[in-house]
Structure 1
């Protein structure tokens, strides 16, 4: 029996690397050798819990981790016609019939090999060019999340936008906004190195929200406007919350002009007291952005075209032989921005 390494949730805030049976593809399947897989906040969420709840008593089960994989096709079933051995592919984690890959399903993208059931280009996988590094291709899934929030914003070139949070999703949104032709994009964060990265990927200005007044800076950058009652507000048209902290939500409400939009893409880990009166005075539109209903492969070609720009989002590339350290980095606040685990060629 051929085996492979698989990364599972272990004890709280720990991973287990175990040997499991290497899958064998059926006639409609493909087998992908994973070459890179990013670590996401969802992975660390499962690690904080120690797995996934299975009953009301709080019992947990270990789950395979990793939903940001890129790899190379090594086997295809007889009925698969649009893939061939050697194709480099990115994967749609939500396209697996056995549950979302790396998010509670039976499969994990942090395995050495990943079985793609009912493999179909454009549905379960997309092929990317050979000149794109696997580590950059592994950004496909989070960049689809970022693209969806930008699509939800319906940002136009003349709009003035602020992105709160200079993590991978916020920076990805910044890149997509600029590629969309948006003239002025501001990024706000509390970590100076992240603000430097925001400028490096194309932000027009940054705000250190730990030391600067957000409303005053946005007014300086985007001009002065007013809310529905005529009270002075910043001229910002669109606020994107890629930070997920209550202070961001309130900063947007405090700054919002009449008919501004707030797009919420970050997961709110704790409930926020929403200033409904402030929203009412600005007629602020709250738009929720979840996942990537259509964007998972919409981004692939542009990710390849702008590979050097997107590569700047990766702060740490860690070999699979040191996967424990990769997850330690991801679990330590402020230690890393985007960690990608790479597998031997």
Structure 2
């Protein structure tokens, strides 16, 4: 890299530590060359990368719907995972800073998809459904479970305050996704809205629904501690489905009719039938989760019984500025949401904790360049 080709904020190392995919349940910490940004590209020093359920399903060998059928591993081999991240700009290829209105030393969050900008969907404005569907950490481009990450020219980026802890700033990715699901629900002031699941996406959806100010926001989960956090994020009513009949309770609250909107954020097949049952006629079902197992439901509920609107939600298009603002404005209990941070060398523990329903985690993050918070319950580095 020369000063005529690019700009750098400091002398950069030649190699970096990175987690690399070798196959299902075979991720390894390796030394990789630090990428050199070409024209239009940026290099970020990774501040934080979140670990989500999609990462875990990928780790265990789940397949993804690419090209018409489930026929490809979710992440390519030799790929660096990590799709929800923020980083500080440390180097830029020719024209990259000007194109993004950014400067060296600023912090960026990157949308997880890297659109082709040429397919049918991109040309019609639906970039988040891009047909090639390259995504950081899964397909086409390395992600951020590494000390540095390269941002290609085609990627979408958003400035984020450097004052935020890295794990809080990286939460803009799941929050933007949940806000898109909320938008899909077309929530009205008089609605009773039910969110199934009080994990990172569910809590984010609760926060987003609260911004729409419907009549009632109801959270469902099986863990009382998560339901308490749901209240802090904006739920009016919480129901522990292990102890109460959610359908009966919601119908009691709504004069026997049922909820207007149901947002599914658990990834468990049983939550699909649950939503169909507790919605009123002409209600709206929004599906966000990525499922490990197929869901089987009574399809006639959707048509003949209730004439429901069933809506999918994928990624977080056009919701990133709002998500970042919610976090920067201190509207969410981020210290309680971002419960666990790990150094890069303990990536395996981070993955395992996401898969441990009894581990007490909400949002797990990796801080490839440190520092791990100390003196708090979040400190797992000791």
TM-score, scaled relative to structure 2? 0.80
Deviation for aligned residue 1:211: 1.9
Worse overlay, 41-50 or 90-99: 90-99
Q: 1:188 to 1:286 in 2, by over 3 A?
A: same
Deviations 1:74-112 (A, max 9, x none): 112232312211101111221376931012223111111
Distance 2:344 2:16 in 1: 12
- CA–CA separation in structure 2 for the residues paired with 1:53 and 1:206: 34
1:180 is the counterpart of 2:206 = no
Equivalences for residues 47-196 of structure 1 within 5 A: 47-49=59-61, 61-80=77-96, 81=98, 82-95=101-114, 99-118=134-153, 124-196=156-228
CA, structure 1 residues 14+327, in 2 after alignment: closer, same or farther (shift >3 Å)?
Answer: farther
**Does structure 2 conserve the Cα–Cα contact (< 8 Å) formed by 1:162 and 1:187?**
yes
Q: CA deviation at 1:316?
A: 0.9
Given candidates 316, 339, 342, the residue that maps to 2:364 is 339
Displacement of 1:307 after TM fit? 5.8
Q: How has the CA–CA distance of structure 1 residues 12 and 160 changed in structure 2, closer, same or farther, with 3 Å as cutoff?
A: same
Q: Which of 324, 327, 332 pairs up with 2:351? A: 327
Contact 2:21 2:28 in 1 (8 A): yes
Q: Distance in 2 between matches of 1:79 and 1:113?
A: 20
- Give the distance between the partners of 1:156 and 1:193, measured in 2 at CA: 29
Instruction: Confirm whether residue 24 of structure 1 aligns to residue 36 of structure 2.
Output: yes
Which segment is superposed worse, 81-90 or 7-16?
7-16
The equivalent of 1:245 in structure 2 is: 268
Distance 1:307 1:159, change over 3 A: closer
Further displaced range: 209-218 or 322-331: 322-331
2:45 equivalent among 33, 40, 54: 33
- Please say which of residues 282-291 and 269-278 is displaced more in the overlay: 269-278
For structure 2, the 5+ residue unaligned runs are 1-12, 117-132, 372-382
Q: In structure 2, what is the equivalent of residue 230 of structure 1? A: none
Q: How does 1:6-17 map to 2 (within 5 A)?
A: 6-10=18-22, 12-17=24-29
- Corresponding residue number in structure 2 for 1:209: 241
Residue 46 of structure 2 contacts residue 86 of structure 2 at CA under 8 Å; is this kept in 1? yes
Once the two structures are overlaid, the 10-residue window that deviates more, 145-154 or 294-303, is 294-303
Give the Cα–Cα distance (whole angstroms) in 2 for the partners of residues 50 and 270 of structure 1.
10
Secondary structure in 2 aligned to 1:291? coil
Q: Spell out, residue by residue over 1:300-344, the C-alpha distance to the aligned partner (whole angstroms, 9 max, x if none).
A: 223312365344321212222432322221233332221011132
1:255 maps to which residue? Answer: 278
Residue 116 to residue 292, structure 1, CA distance change in 2 (3 Å)? same
The offset of 1:192, in angstroms, is 2.0
Q: How many residues align?
A: 333
Change (3 A) 1:270 1:327: closer
Instruction: Show CA shifts across 1:154-204 (max 9, x none).
Output: 112221101011111111000011122223111111122221221222211
* Distance (Å, rounded) in 1 between the aligned partners of 2:108 and 2:230: 28
> How far apart are the structure 2 equivalents of 1:147 and 1:53?
23
On the 8 A contact 1:67/1:108 being kept in 2, the answer is: yes
C-alpha RMSD of the superposition? 2.7
Q: 1:277 aligns with which of 274, 291, 300?
A: 300
Residues 113 and 60 (structure 1), Cα distance of their counterparts in 2 relative to 1, 3 Å cut: closer
Report how far residue 295 of structure 1 moved: 2.5
